[in-house]
Amino acid sequence: MIVDTICIIDDDPIFIFGTKILLKNNNFCDTILVSNNGEEGLECLKRFFKENNKFPELIFLDLNMPVLDGWGFLDAFKELFKEVDTKIYILSSSIDSRDIERAKEYFLVKDFIAKPLTDTIITDLKNNIK
């Protein structure tokens, strides 16, 4: 396994289902946490940290979600968890250059990946994370 825990924050159940299969088939991680929007994601991370005294190594974050979108999540995350060394990858169906440029403004965001995820993308991530 490359990482112990990954968190997927996305409101698309088909994307979540497919991503979980890709991650498992590629022996990418042991534990997958799932939240359906940014607010749930923040609460999930708070609980996970409280129970395990650590954070997931990676977060896959969608931008367009109800309740709290990806941008709102990033703003709240950087205020709540200042000392965290978690890598956040934005996974979005948006290929708007403004979104890509805006993502670069967040030091926690390691990359902007256009959906859908593929075995090739997972392999590239594995190689870059090692």
Q: Is the dihedral of CA 26, 27, 33, 38 positive or negative?
A: negative
Query: Residue 53: pLDDT band by 50, 70, 90 thresholds?
Result: confident
The Cα–Cα gap between 115 and 62 comes to 9
Mean pLDDT of 82-99: 89
Question: Over the chain, what is the mean pLDDT?
Answer: 93
The pLDDT, as a whole number, for residue 95 is 79
CA proximity to 56, closest of 71, 41, 68: 41
What spatial distance separates the first Cα and last Cα of the chain, rounded to whole Å? 10
What's the pLDDT score for residue 73?
Answer: 98
Cis peptide bond upstream of 116, omega within 30 = yes
- Residue 77, pLDDT > 70, answer yes
Q: What is the mean pLDDT of residues 86-96?
A: 90
Q: How confident is the model at residue 130 (pLDDT cuts 50, 70, 90)?
A: low
* Residue ranges of domains in the chain, CATH in brackets: 3-129 (3.40.50.2300)
Residue the block writes with tokens 């999930």: 44
Which pLDDT score, from 0 to 100, does residue 51 have?
A: 94
pTM exceeding the 0.75 threshold for the entire prediction? yes
Helical spans, DSSP H, in the chain: 13-25, 38-52, 70-80, 97-103, 119-129
